[in-house]
Chains A and B, each alone.
Chain A
Amino acid sequence: MQVPAAIQRIAEHYNYIVTIFLMVGGLYIVIARGNMIKKLIGLALFQTSVYLLYLSPGKIIGGTAPILDPAFKVYSNPLPHVLILTAIVVGVATLALGLALVARIQEAYGTVEEDEIFEQEGNQ
């Protein structure tokens, strides 16, 4: 059966469509939400989309792990995985620090809603 061209295109670029969806969605949450925890969740989502952007082209269909063996000829690229392992660590550190800051802000202001905090600052 002939697959329609549009569906073929979507199937070929499926990973990238998901990547762009996560990227834009994450960034939208960061901009649109006033709750500081939700902002951080959006930020984490945004960073996660980048992991996918790097990993997708590294995989070669039918390729094995890059182990030097005469039995295998086609390998996936291991470098993006290594890079993203580092990026994940950076992402975790950022999220942890962000949450720690939010905890301190909660102690200092009694809220994590940005508009309520700005209101308190405005009254001073």
Chain B
Amino acid sequence: MKSVTVHLPALQVVVPLIGALLSALFRRGTTAWAFALVVSWLMPAISIALLLQVLDSGPISYHLGGWAPPWGIEYRVDLLSAFVLVLVSVIGAAIMPFARRSVAHEIEGDKQPWFYTMYLLCLTGLLGITITGDAFNVFVFLEISSLSTYVLIAMGRDRRALLAAYQYLILGTIGATFYIIGVGFLYLVTGSLNIVDIAERLGPAAAAAPRPVMAALAFVAVGISLKLALFPLHVWLPGAYAHAPSVATAFLAGTATKVAIYVLIRYFYSVFGVGVSFPSLPFVEVVLALSVAAMFIASIVAVFEPNAKRMLAYSSLAQVGYITLGIAIANTAGLTGGIVHLFNHALMKTALFLALGAVFYRIGSVKLADLAGIGRHMPVTMAAFVVGGLAIIGVPGTAGFISKWYLAVGAVDRGWWPLVFVILSSSLIAVVYIGRVVEVAWFREPSPVAAAAKDPPWSMLLPLLALVAATIYFGLDTGATAGVAQKIAAYLLGGLK
């Protein structure tokens, strides 16, 4: 048994990678689904074991192929990466029971096994980015997850899905290439690709040659910001989320941008360190301004969006703004808020997209006009949507309140009082756009399509209800999320004081 636990970090990536290849061999969608389900449910088992191990005995360093770092590739699991691994694997597993009927409904029979191949490949890439301790390896996994994401999006029914996938391919590749240029500069000044090793060598290197280090920081920050859809580098996201198959949208909304944010946190705080990244370039100011712009502009666009799925996509942009706001506040409470929101937003946005996926499964549309009165005919689904929406708004008792609370405390600690007002008022805009859907779904006369609908089967309802229950649970018991996030923030800010 011991021999298996030692290799858990490698298994976290290798199992879904091989699973992806094998599920391509199946002919029928249902058998491929059953296989992918088993693989995706193994992932949280591994990641939770890793998190417990890290909480118990500190960071894990796994030497791939037995080559010692910094020469070999190291898989490094510290508290932050274990936390994100758990998030990604849990979301990936929670969606799978929902996937069978939804995928069978939206994707042609012979393409369904390929859908699960791409799903697992994307999961491999996202888990790999999080677990690896090698800067170039991050690029490789980033491209594995990105390429499979483009395919997932292009599998959407609408021909506009192809357009969205193409646009994302162009912008995503530019982002990844910017990242790799940044890593190239880091390699030139430090001679290393191991993230821990770079961090150690960067201090003297930055003192000797500040310009390439600054260029590296700028390239990495812009490249990753493209992947995490920081305003105004977000243009690919609404189209991609709106036209991808429902399952793919729910999965991407919960994981892909979150992992990119993880990389940003990793570079700002661990690689460059607070000492280099914040004084050398006006990062706090830039990220702060862009986050606030995202929170307002994207929210306002969401208010006027007639397609509910696209509306949630704009809402995601605004929520990414909250997370990056926490990164920019850069004190313990602010960073805790950012990291908790990373987790909480993944839960509630996945739940909301699953609810819309269930609606699409029944009525074949997510336009607001078609949703009229659907609450009376799909009561469980739309009730779940309302709870998820309340969490997005940040109502006390839901997970969304916890993260916004920490962000506000962080802003006050810094003496940035106006930010508290900003956080509150952008939440009010969320009341408007979530309220629009609720009003249409519950208080209008049913449209002809909505009148024929009923709640989806239990296999689709259970994942949705589980995620909604989790947003309530983590709104009341914050030990597992905010408690761990606080430890992570303290660990990341260790170098500051």
Contact = CB atoms under 8 A, between A and B. Distances in A.
Interface residues of B, number: 25
B165 to A, nearest CB: 6
Interface stretch (A6-14, A46-54, A63-71): A46-54
Given A97-B151, A104-B154, A108-B159, A47 B166 contact: no
B163 A105 contact: yes
A47 to B, nearest CB: 6
A101 B166 contact: yes
A101 B169 contact: yes
B174 A101 contact: no
B163 A57 contact: no
Interface string B122-140: 0000000000000010011
A46 B143 contact: no
A105 B188 CA distance: 41
A101 B165 contact: yes
Contact of B188 (A27, A57, A86, A117): A57
Contact of A39 (B140, B170, B180, B188): B170
B169 A90 contact: no
B181 A43 contact: no
A105 B167 CA distance: 12
B181 A47 contact: no
Nearest to B181: A50
A98 interface: yes
Contacts of B174: 27, 30, 43, 46
A30 B170 CA distance: 8
A89 B278 CA distance: 35
Given A50-B184, A90-B140, A93-B147, A104 B162 contact: yes
A108 B158 CA distance: 10
A90 B163 contact: no
B177 interface: yes
B71 to A, nearest CB: 9
A121 interface: yes
A23 B181 CA distance: 10
B62 interface: no
A86 B181 contact: no
A102 B167 CA distance: 11
B30 interface: no
B150 interface: yes
Which DSSP category, helix, strand, loop or mixed, fits chain A's interface? helix
Given A50-B177, A57-B188, A83-B136, A94 B143 contact: yes
Interface in B97-152: 136, 139-140, 143, 147, 150-151
B396 to A, nearest CB: 42
A94 B154 contact: no
A101 B172 CA distance: 15
B487 interface: no
Contact of A86 (B140, B150, B169, B173): B140
Contact of A94 (B136, B169, B181): B169
A101 B188 contact: no
A97 B163 contact: no
Contact of A109 (B151, B154, B159): B159
B181 A53 contact: yes
A59 B170 CA distance: 31
Contacts of A90: 139-140, 143
Contact of B180 (A40, A87, A108, A117): A87
Interface string B235-246: 000000000000
B150 A97 contact: yes
Contacts of A47: 173, 177
B160 interface: yes
A94 B147 contact: yes
Contacts of B188: 57
Contact of A121 (B139, B160, B165, B181): B160
A53 B183 CA distance: 11
A43 B173 contact: yes
Nearest first, the 5 closest Cβ-Cβ pairs linking A and B are A108-B159, A90-B143, A101-B166, A105-B162, A104-B162
8 contacts: A80-B187, A90-B143, A97-B147, A101-B150, A101-B165, A101-B166, A105-B159, A121-B163
Interface of A: 23, 27, 30, 36, 39-40, 43, 46-47, 50, 53-54, 57, 79-80, 83, 86-87, 90, 93-94, 97-98, 101-102, 104-105, 108-109, 117, 121
Given A30-B170, A104-B162, 10 more contacts: A30-B174, A54-B184, A93-B147, A94-B143, A97-B150, A98-B169, A108-B159, A108-B162, A109-B159, A121-B160
Interface of B: 136, 139-140, 143, 147, 150-151, 154, 159-160, 162-163, 165-166, 169-170, 173-174, 177, 180-181, 184, 187-188, 193
